[in-house]
Chain A
């Protein structure tokens, strides 16, 4: 069988001592920068790129790829332990992962994140090998109308994120959409809500809001309530997930992997959308949705799998079409061209050692990550025993350095302080931050694609229903609305009958 031969060939390439070493260095550096907020794979790869010019292409690519997915992996660690999202997509992990840690279940949360990521990484890798090129062709069918309809579906489904008070959750989504508007308008170049501050012209950084609201806001809240700080040290149960935990997480991991693979293939969807979708799906499917936000293991397992699958399949448009779906992928393309390799479908046939070697190395890298991280769980959990008064200045230091490193500017630091205060007030008033971030991620893409679609169709709104893929999403959106409204209506009727 061709695939088997190709994979065997790939493993042959990846298992050379040299390439194993590159892979290991990559995932190690990736885990480290993933743990730290702000400092992401983009800046790290940019810094390391010149060093790879003298390395042979396969080794260079294996190492850079390792940094990238290693970072996705490491991002969840601090999210679970101290509510500090190390990477964009880890924001979703904060919601339930951190609550698990507060209940003394940091160990199982970290372990299930590792298992989920490994499973997703394996599937993602296989998917690239099996169906990379045809999937990439499907992705090209997505134009502005399709992206808009997809985002619309996401926004409607966001109501599921509602925690307790629906109006409060929806207002957080709307507020997120408003924050997303800050910056220069893609369609006209007009600066909106920038107060003539040039630093705001490219918008507010996602990580600024996430770290401000989650990490800083949480610290300020904890300082006001001594009893909240003791929880960590109170009791630490088992380090590994129980049989029930595994059973509860199995399907979320599978579904998360599927969602993540889907979004990964689409170059026009940003980070965190895959993990948000998985979270919303799990909450919708759960027998008791009220457990979410209070330490539900499904809320960690699904999004973590989705996030890692997304990271792996983001390679599909890059490897098969030469299309960068993100800044990191653009840098990898750059690394390839500098090595004299023209990216595109011909890479598979002309440089098979590169294509299959990279794929095999990704699976090996994922395995290394699990082996690397499982023994560390005990250490991480011990870290939580550090008294809170010593822990939080450290969290502050890592957050601040991380934020500063995103654009080397103090302005973002000031913004973070502001969002820290806002995060505290929102928490006090009973608002949850997750819907805000979802709105923030979806908003700009929705507006941009809606207006672009209308521009291209010359103001004819029928484009959304005459294009089949877009129509499918619109129908799904209507279905979701019906499913969501029906129980509420029934409840009203019951209430009236009583």
Chain B
């Protein structure tokens, strides 16, 4: 059975590959190419991105006969909140210290679950943060301030 392009797995795969390959080709267009015997820094990137584009085009061509659907079950909530709390962790590590960064990360990522329960997650955050401080800071001696001083 044919699958509409909108949720055709091969079609979108092909699009992604062509996009990445083309982007790499454009970014790397000024790297010296050299010759096949004396390869410059641009040789490998150019060859690889072209191959990626070709693979992408093949997949797109195949998609017209393909039956692979993109699997259902997208958690937009997870897709946004999880990376976001990771990024926030990074920001807090440099500006606020180990404890606030962990609290934000643990509490934040727990928010991504549809089974979120406030009391439970608060307890989890406290317990895990304490555990991490004990293991990483006191135990392994990682050089991070618990709370950054300004």
Contact A181 B48 (CB under 8 A): yes
Contact A429 B13 (CB under 8 A): yes
Interface check A206, CB cutoff 8 A: no
Binary interface profile of A, 184-198, with partner B (CB < 8 Å = 1, else 0)? 010110101100000
Interface secondary structure of A, over-half rule: helix
Contact of B45 (CB < 8 Å), options: A168, A181, A226, A450 = A181
Tell me which residues from 193 to 243 in chain A have a Cβ below 8 Å from any Cβ of chain B.
Answer: 193, 216, 219-220, 223-226
Contact B39 A414 (CB under 8 A): no
Whole-angstrom distance between the alpha carbons of A388 and B82 in the complex?
15
Tell me which residues from 8 to 63 in chain B have a Cβ below 8 Å from any Cβ of chain A.
Answer: 9, 12-13, 16-17, 20, 24, 27-28, 31-32, 37-41, 44-45, 48-49, 51-52, 55-56, 58-59, 62
Which residues of A are found within 8 Å of B149, using beta-carbon distances?
Answer: none
Whole-angstrom distance between the alpha carbons of A178 and B53 in the complex?
12
Contact B136 A223 (CB under 8 A): no
Whole-angstrom distance between the alpha carbons of A190 and B40 in the complex?
10
Whole-angstrom distance between the alpha carbons of A168 and B28 in the complex?
23
Q: With contacts A192-B28, A216-B86, A397-B105 known, is A33 near B17, CB below 8 A? A: no
Which residues of B are found within 8 Å of A408, using beta-carbon distances?
Answer: 143-144
How far, in Å, is A49 (CB) from chain B's closest CB?
13
Residue in A393, A421, A454, A461 with the greatest tally of chain B CB atoms within 10 Å: A393
Tell me which residues from 155 to 197 in chain A have a Cβ below 8 Å from any Cβ of chain B.
Answer: 167-168, 170-171, 174-175, 177-178, 181, 185, 187-188, 190, 192-193
Q: With contacts A220-B78, A389-B115 known, is A397 near B31, CB below 8 A? A: no
Whole-angstrom distance between the alpha carbons of A37 and B75 in the complex?
26
Contact of A413 (CB < 8 Å), options: B70, B90, B106 = B90
How far, in Å, is B31 (CB) from chain A's closest CB?
6
Residue in B40, B59, B79, B89 with the greatest tally of chain A CB atoms within 10 Å: B89
Whole-angstrom distance between the alpha carbons of A210 and B75 in the complex?
22
Q: With contacts A188-B40, A390-B124 known, is A219 near B89, CB below 8 A? A: no
Which residues of B are found within 8 Å of A286, using beta-carbon distances?
Answer: none
Contact of B86 (CB < 8 Å), options: A171, A190, A413 = A413
Whole-angstrom distance between the alpha carbons of A145 and B61 in the complex?
38
Residue in B73, B120, B125 with the greatest tally of chain A CB atoms within 10 Å: B73
Interface check A451, CB cutoff 8 A: yes
| Range, interface on chain A | 35 or more
Residue in B86, B87, B117, B136 with the greatest tally of chain A CB atoms within 10 Å: B86
Contact A396 B109 (CB under 8 A): yes
Q: Which of A326-334, A336-344, A398-406 binds B? A: A398-406
Whole-angstrom distance between the alpha carbons of A390 and B106 in the complex?
10
Which residues of A are found within 8 Å of B52, using beta-carbon distances?
Answer: 171, 174-175, 178
Contact of B91 (CB < 8 Å), options: A177, A224, A410 = A410
Which residues of B are found within 8 Å of A287, using beta-carbon distances?
Answer: none
Which residues of A are found within 8 Å of B17, using beta-carbon distances?
Answer: 171, 175
Contact A220 B13 (CB under 8 A): no
| Range, interface on chain B | 35 or more
Which residues of A are found within 8 Å of B37, using beta-carbon distances?
Answer: 454, 459-461
How far, in Å, is B127 (CB) from chain A's closest CB?
10
Interface check A118, CB cutoff 8 A: no
How far, in Å, is B95 (CB) from chain A's closest CB?
9
Which residues of B are found within 8 Å of A410, using beta-carbon distances?
Answer: 90-91, 93-94
Contact of A394 (CB < 8 Å), options: B77, B78, B128, B140 = B128
Which residues of B are found within 8 Å of A47, using beta-carbon distances?
Answer: 140-141
Contact A450 B73 (CB under 8 A): no
Q: With contacts A175-B20, A223-B113, A429-B16 known, is A420 near B128, CB below 8 A? A: no
Which residues of A are found within 8 Å of B74, using beta-carbon distances?
Answer: 224, 428
Interface check A417, CB cutoff 8 A: yes
Return the chain A residue nearest B121 by Cβ.
A393
Contact B132 A171 (CB under 8 A): no
Whole-angstrom distance between the alpha carbons of A475 and B13 in the complex?
35
Which residues of B are found within 8 Å of A413, using beta-carbon distances?
Answer: 86-87, 89-90, 93
Which residues of B are found within 8 Å of A216, using beta-carbon distances?
Answer: 82-83, 86
Return the chain B residue nearest A193 by Cβ.
B27
Contact of B113 (CB < 8 Å), options: A39, A389, A397, A424 = A389
How far, in Å, is B70 (CB) from chain A's closest CB?
6
Binary interface profile of B, 100-113, with partner A (CB < 8 Å = 1, else 0)? 00100111011011
Which residues of A are found within 8 Å of B128, using beta-carbon distances?
Answer: 393-394, 397
Interface check A447, CB cutoff 8 A: yes
Contact A397 B106 (CB under 8 A): yes
Contact of A393 (CB < 8 Å), options: B55, B83, B110 = B110
Which residues of B are found within 8 Å of A193, using beta-carbon distances?
Answer: 24, 27-28, 45
Contact B12 A429 (CB under 8 A): yes
Residue contacts A-B, CB under 8 angstroms, 14 given: A170-B55, A174-B48, A178-B49, A223-B113, A393-B107, A393-B121, A396-B82, A396-B86, A397-B128, A401-B102, A405-B142, A414-B90, A420-B83, A424-B79
A-B CB proximity, top 10 nearest: A223-B78, A224-B75, A413-B90, A410-B90, A417-B83, A459-B37, A417-B86, A225-B73, A171-B55, A223-B75
Q: Interface on B for A, CB 8 Å cutoff?
A: 9, 12-13, 16-17, 20, 24, 27-28, 31-32, 37-41, 44-45, 48-49, 51-52, 55-56, 58-59, 62, 68, 70-71, 73-75, 77-79, 82-87, 89-91, 93-94, 102, 105-107, 109-110, 112-117, 120-121, 124-125, 128, 132, 136, 140-144
Q: A193-B45, A428-B71 are in contact. List 7 more A-B contacts (CB 8 A).
A: A192-B28, A216-B82, A398-B132, A401-B132, A404-B89, A413-B89, A414-B87
